[in-house]
Amino acid sequence: MKISNTAWFVYANGIRGAGPFDDVLRFRTKLIAYDGNDAWVGPALADVVQCLQLQPPPRPAPDCDYCRYVAAAAAIS
């Protein structure tokens, strides 16, 4: 399946002083195009699979907040 490298962002900004509120909010909207590059995704996924299949798994990094959180949660239970 072919996927475009162009992503679109909808940017909406409320209009101040647009008159009486009357349960209606008014916005200025813009459609912003962004050209990305997904060439890194395939190799990154292959690296993830390789890491998950390591025996034994890699040691936690000392500066990883998530690793410290999991270790602390495991110590409680």
- Indicate the pTM of the whole model: 0.48
- pLDDT value at 40 more than 80: yes
Q: What pairs with residue 30 in β-bridges? A: 11
Range 26-37 average pLDDT: 96
- Residue 73: which H helix or E strand, with range? helix 65-76
Three-state secondary-structure class, residue 74: helix
Question: Do 5 and 38 contact (CB within 8 A), yes or no?
Answer: yes
Q: What is the DSSP string of 17-69?
A: T-S--TT---EEEEEEEEE---TTHHHHHHHHHHHHT-SSPPPPPTT-HHHHH
